[in-house]
Amino acid sequence: MNTKLKKALVSALVLLGIGAVGKRAEAIGPNPDTMIVSVTPGNPQYGVYITSPIAGSGYDFQQVNLGATTGSTLAIVVKSSGTVSEYFAMSVVDNGTNAWTALGADGTPALDQFELLGRFNNVSQPLDSAFSGANDIITGSIPGTGSGKYNQGAQTAPGSTQNLWLKLKMPSSVTSPAARNLVLSINGQLN
């Protein structure tokens, strides 16, 4: 037999054998196989929109006696206006002359001090006893976490709303009897 023909025949058989082994190796792997595809959402935005129960004026407790405690009678609607589910965290300050100071922990307010508690409840106005001094207190700065505070069991989804109810403990005494405008801030955040 011709040497060239023998070489060609041997080469063809070798290639056929490699192809068969290659095909067999492909069929042995798991079916189906898996892999991880990762992605991180870009530009998540936390947002809050507050709807006052009294158009254009915020909430007005009106006249409350010194040393007394009162609760809001209308819900303040708080909407998650961002692009990601969020917890709400709150702070309150008095920026006026002879400013009052928000207590940092549950207690009895003294001269020019007050305590403000906030609680989310979409069903109805919470009872006075439902407010927790430990979990519902609104201090002078936004806390690092809103999870577990203000009766929030879970994050609020984008576009969803929560009804906020307030409880105010008045100072025992004040430097000035002038009306106060307390600034309530609500922050949307991951925790």
Domain 48-189, CATH: 2.60.40
Report d(CA 17, CA 114) in Å as an integer: 87
CA 169 – CA 103 distance, rounded (Å): 10
Confidence of residue 30 (pLDDT cuts 50, 70, 90): confident
pTM, to two decimals: 0.80
Report the distance separating Cα 89 and Cα 144, nearest Å. Answer: 8
pLDDT in tens, 86-144: 999 999 999 999 999 999 999 999 999 999 999 999 989 999 999 999 999 999 999 99
The dihedral sign for the CA sequence 115, 121, 124, 128: negative
Mean pLDDT of 179-187: 96
Confidence class for position 53, pLDDT limits 50, 70, 90: confident
Q: Does the N-terminal peptide bond of residue 30 adopt cis geometry, omega within 30 degrees of 0?
A: no
Q: Mean pLDDT across the stretch 21-39?
A: 74
Q: Where does 34-155 have alpha helices with state H?
A: none
Residue 24 has pLDDT above 70, yes or no: no
Domain boundary assignment for the chain? 48-189
With bands split at pLDDT 50, 70 and 90, how would you rate the model's confidence at 2?
A: low
